[in-house]
Structures are given as C-alpha cells and as structure tokens.
Amino acid sequence: MSTRTIAKPQAQQPGKGKRRISLPVLLLIIAGVLILTSVVRLITGADGITSTGQMSTALRLAVPIGLAGLGGLWAERAGVVNIGLEGMMILGTWFGAWAGYQWGPWVGIIFGILGGCLGAVLHAVATVTFNVNHIVSGVAINILALGTARYLSKFTFEDAEGGSSKQSPPIDSLGTFDIPGLSSWLDTLNQKHWFLVSDIAGLVGGLVTDLSPLTVIAVALVPASWWILWRTAFGLRLRSCGENPIAAESLGVNVYKYKYLAVIISGGFAGLGGAFLSIVASNVYLDGQTAGRGYIGLAAMIFGNWMPGGLALGAGLFGYTDSLNLRGGTTNVHALILLLAILLVVGAAYLVWKKRYVPAVITAVISAVMFFWYADTNEVPRQLVTAAPYIVTLLVLSFSAQRLRMPKADGMPYRRGQGK
C-alpha cells in the first residue's frame, strides 16, 4: 500500500508517464514490418509466411485468443483480475458442444456464453463479495471447470453415437463464406509473389476468405468494446471502478454492480471463445481443447496495454504463430528466424539512438546468434514450431513490460463505504 501511495504523485507529474504510440507511428511500424517480411520472403523463398491460407488460418486461431483477451479487458478495467479465463473457456467448450449437438450450433453458442458466465458468477462472488484473492479464485475456477467438464463428459458423450468420455459427437457447421470477387482477386495477387503487393494481398485476403459468421461477430466485438468502454457513460463508470473505486462510490456509482457486470461479461466473452473452439474451429468438444488459450488471451490483453486495439494486434500475433504449427511451418519458422534477426538489428540501432548502450549490445548479440542459427540450418525442429505460440507469449511479455500501465485499482480489495 505504501508503494502505491508513494508512486501515485510521481505518475501524475507531467512528462513522467510512458507515452502511448500514436496511430501514425504505429502504422509506420506495421508498414516497416511488412516491408521487411516481404524482403525476407524473397530471400528465403518461403512464400507461405504471407499466403492467403496462412493468414486465414491465423485469423481463425486468433479469434478465441482475442475473445479471451476481451474478457480479461472488461474484468480488469473494473478492477478484477480474471485468471479464471481458461476455466471459463473450458466451460464454454463443453456447454457449447453439449447444446450444439442437441439443438444446433447457434443454440450451442448461446449455451457456451452462458457456461462462461456461470464460471464468472462464481469468480465475482468470491472476489467482489467475499474479497477472496483474485489469483486464488481464478486458479480455483480453472481447476473446478476442468474437473466439471471431464465429469460431465462421461455422462453426456460417452454413450452418444460418435462420442466418447473425452470427445463429443460431431456438431453441425455454421458454414463459411468468402467476400465475392474480392477474395479470389486478392488470392490471385498473392500467388504472383510480387514484392510487398502480394504480401498485403495475402494479409487482406486472409481477412475476407473462408470466414465463419462467428468470426465476423468476434471481430466486430473489438471496436464495440472500445466504443462502450471509452465513449459511453456506462463505460466511464465501469472504468472508474478499476481506477479509483472509492472516488467512484463518492460520485454515486454502485461499484459492486459494475464489478459484477464486468466479470460476468468477461466470462461471456471467454465462454464465446470456448464455443468457437468446439463449434467452429473443430466441430467437436475435446478434452484439453483450450490448450492454454485463456492464459494466452490474458497475455494478449497485457501486450495490448489493456486497450482493445493493442489486444487485437496481440491476438493476431499469437494466432499467426499458432497457425505455423497447423500448416507445416518448419520452413516458414526458419524464414522467420531471419526476420527476427533483422528486427533485432533495428531494435539495437534504436537503443543506441536512445543512448541505452548495454541493452543495445545485448540485443545485437542475440541478433548475431539468430543470424548464425539461420545460416547454419535449413529448417527448425518440429517441437520448436509446436512451442512457438508459448515462446512468443513469454518474449512479448518480457519486451513489453516497460511500457505497461494497468488500471490503478486492478486486483485491489474493495468494500463498500471504506472511504468514509
């Protein structure tokens, strides 16, 4: 408590806070990465790193991660840490598959959301009403959800045709669609393998090809969340509960109500991500299907600095690395080692410009090791490709830790009337 008290005045001093990256600068960074990626593709011949199919797969894999991250964003903006996203996703996969198998995929999606909300209610009761440590409650939710899903599967899927104790019967598909004309034109451009043009065509083409209706809904939820949280009175009150609940209460905000709503909405997003996995991504429920995506979603939220736009970029990054595993990515990952080495050289130059010489030297050494690794090998081990999403998660959190700014009251206990 004393640390927060001392740090608060410093954070309010002009010029002392971390500046956010402006939109023009962010667009320039993205353009620079695209140009470097195109150069690496031409050097290595790994055309798959920006193919339409690769980008389409990456989008499909990014959706559940992004939905889990949105869930974490809503909860933490109201001051509740939600480590239980993984468990809520597990409940979403089971409830979605159970209802989808019996009554169709759209009903399954609704039940998946309700399953995530069920786990969220337990988390809200523990953390908001009884002030249980948020991390302890979240871990308990994860363990409870995993055991509940396995227990229920034995009674519901084991005797069903095409099912087992660890797998549901197949669920009807929601179907997919392309944007008429645009998707085929972009795919044609991508297959010409021109510098930069084909790479942009592959990136955009992946966003308009082989789309599920639920993918479109999930993508739309990102700007919708931004608008609600930053452009409405409801969002202002909710965020005030995560910044200073005592001040919010003094202005007449029912802090308990907003915390409950935020956590339940958070669980709904996570449950929707779980339903996406069992209904859209694979059309069956599988034991262990989430594979830590709830935690990766939380990492995407932190990478995005508790903002929807940054969260979407983080989810896209993790989805892309995950897609390498599904599309025979040993050659592609080998090419990306060269891209990473070049990016590290750029990073070292930036650190020198900032006169941070020790980090610059360390970055340059790592870059040299990456160059040597690329030159000395023709492909990477398959195990590295499988582990790529988790390695990227750790690296991204390590490099982004210096610029993060979480809500001030995130995870802090609160009781009504404590400011009086």
- Residue type at position 234: F
Total Cβ atoms within 10 A of residue 76: 24
Closest CA to 276 of 321, 215, 318: 215
How far lies 127's CA from each of 23, 29, 42, 130, 204, in Å? 36, 40, 53, 6, 42
Encoding tokens for residue 409? 């009251």
Asked if pLDDT for residue 44 goes beyond 80, the answer is yes
Q: Map tokens 């736009």 to a residue.
A: 309
Co-location of 348 and 395 in the same domain: yes
Q: Which residues pair with 286 in a beta bridge?
A: 167
Co-location of 132 and 258 in the same domain: yes
Q: Considering 294, 326, 358, which residue would you say is the last residue of a domain?
A: 326
Within-domain flag for 401: yes
Within-domain flag for 168: yes
Q: What is the mean pLDDT of the chain?
A: 88
Co-location of 353 and 295 in the same domain: no
What confidence tier does 420 reach under pLDDT thresholds 50, 70, 90?
A: low
Condensed to tens digits (0 to 9), the pLDDT of residues 106-155 reads 999 999 999 999 999 999 999 999 999 999 999 999 999 999 999 999 88
Total Cβ atoms within 10 A of residue 213: 15
Domain count, the chain: 2
Condensed to tens digits (0 to 9), the pLDDT of residues 7-39 reads 333 333 333 444 566 667 778 888 898 999 999
Co-location of 280 and 345 in the same domain: no
Co-location of 269 and 361 in the same domain: no
What radius of gyration do the chain's Cα atoms show? 23
Please report the sign of the dihedral spanned by the C-alpha atoms of residue 252, residue 257, residue 262, residue 268: negative
The enclosing domain of 79 has a CATH number of 1.10.3470.10
Condensed to tens digits (0 to 9), the pLDDT of residues 237-286 reads 999 999 999 999 999 999 999 999 999 999 999 999 999 999 999 899 99
Within-domain flag for 160: yes
Co-location of 109 and 221 in the same domain: yes
Cα 111 from Cα 118, distance rounded (Å): 10
Cα 324 from Cα 333, distance rounded (Å): 7
Closest CA to 100 of 324, 285, 352, 334: 285
Within-domain flag for 266: yes
Q: What is the pLDDT of residue 24?
A: 79
Within-domain flag for 188: no
Q: Considering 300, 326, 352, which residue would you say is the last residue of a domain?
A: 326
Q: Map tokens 């600095």 to a residue.
A: 305
Domain of residue 154: give its range.
47-176+211-326
* Helix runs in 251-304, H state only: 255-275, 293-303
Within-domain flag for 414: no
Cα 18 from Cα 32, distance rounded (Å): 23
Q: Map tokens 């599988």 to a residue.
A: 286
Q: Which residues contact 326 (CB under 8 A, 6 or more apart)?
A: 57, 61
End-to-end CA distance of the chain: 18
Cα 273 from Cα 294, distance rounded (Å): 9
Condensed to tens digits (0 to 9), the pLDDT of residues 218-229 reads 999 999 999 999
For the chain, helix (H) and strand (E) counts, in that order, are 17, 0
Co-location of 99 and 70 in the same domain: yes
Closest CA to 392 of 301, 317, 302, 295: 317
What confidence tier does 385 reach under pLDDT thresholds 50, 70, 90?
A: confident
Co-location of 99 and 51 in the same domain: yes
Give the mean model confidence (pLDDT) for residues 160-168. Answer: 87
Co-location of 300 and 384 in the same domain: no
**Hey, what long-range contacts does 392-401 have (CB within 8 A, 24 or more apart)?**
392/317, 392/318, 392/321, 393/295, 393/296, 393/299, 393/318, 396/299, 396/303, 396/314, 396/317, 397/299, 397/302, 397/303, 400/302, 400/303, 400/305
Q: In this structure, what DSSP letter does residue 282 have?
A: S
Co-location of 311 and 368 in the same domain: no
Encoding tokens for residue 23? 């939109």
Within-domain flag for 385: yes
Q: Which residues pair with 164 in a beta bridge?
A: 167
Encoding tokens for residue 2? 């004393």
Give the mean model confidence (pLDDT) for residues 367-393. Answer: 84
Co-location of 240 and 288 in the same domain: yes
Q: Considering 269, 294, 326, which residue would you say is the last residue of a domain?
A: 326
Co-location of 145 and 272 in the same domain: yes
